[in-house]
């Protein structure tokens, strides 16, 4: 009888997520991160797994319009949420203005951090808190670029936001 209580495995919860405008119903184990649900269950591999500890920002997505590290939240905690990944930023063949600015300013080198940088910057713009280059730099500091393309990333963000960019990097 005692072994029966240890053989009861919990059922995988069913969650609903609206990802890039499309509704998905998923069965996920309670410990699956939002990042892993996006990558492994929905095959949306644009969002990158960097440190898997919330320190690099490579996994940044927009959840209900706010930027979060997808590696630091469980998928079941986001049941019913609206999520935008890098794959959902463009409208068909039309790039989001920030995506085009990243191209125009060569704001990437290896490109690994680019999806997180883009989602974080769009969240930053929606927050409406950054009015200067210094504020952009501060509010984007959670997104690391190992190639150190910060001056180009900042230039792209400032251009789209209409902020004067007077040099500076990190």
Per-residue pLDDT of the chain (170 residues; tens, 9 = 90+): 454 555 555 678 899 999 999 999 999 999 999 999 999 999 999 999 999 999 999 999 999 999 999 999 999 999 999 999 999 999 999 999 999 999 999 999 999 999 999 999 999 999 999 999 999 999 999 999 999 999 999 999 999 999 988 755 44
Instruction: State pTM to two decimals.
Output: 0.90
The residue among 57, 88, 119 that closes a domain is 88
The count of structural domains within the chain is: 2
Clarify whether residues 116 and 83 are in a common domain. Answer: no
Token pair recorded at residue 72: 């630091």
- With tokens 């509010």, the residue in question is 139
Clarify whether residues 15 and 51 are in a common domain. Answer: yes
């Amino acid at each position: 009888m005692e072994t029966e209580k240890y053989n009861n495995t919990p059922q995988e919860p069913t969650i609903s997520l609206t990802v890039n405008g499309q509704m998905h119903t998923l069965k996920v184990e309670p410990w699956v991160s939002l990042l892993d649900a996006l990558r492994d269950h929905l095959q949306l591999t644009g969002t990158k797994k960097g440190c898997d500890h919330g320190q690099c920002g490579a996994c940044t997505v927009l959840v209900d319009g706010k930027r979060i590290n997808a590696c630091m939240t469980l998928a079941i905690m986001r049941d019913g949420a609206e999520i935008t990944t890098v794959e959902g930023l463009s409208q068909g063949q039309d790039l989001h203005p920030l995506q085009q600015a990243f191209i125009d300013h060569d704001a990437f080198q290896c490109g690994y951090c680019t999806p997180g940088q883009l989602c974080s910057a769009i969240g930053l713009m929606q927050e409406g808190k950054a009015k200067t280059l210094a504020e952009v730099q501060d509010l984007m500091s959670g997104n690391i670029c190992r190639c150190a393309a910060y001056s180009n990333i900042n230039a792209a963000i400032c251009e789209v936001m209409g902020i004067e960019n007077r040099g500076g990097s990190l």
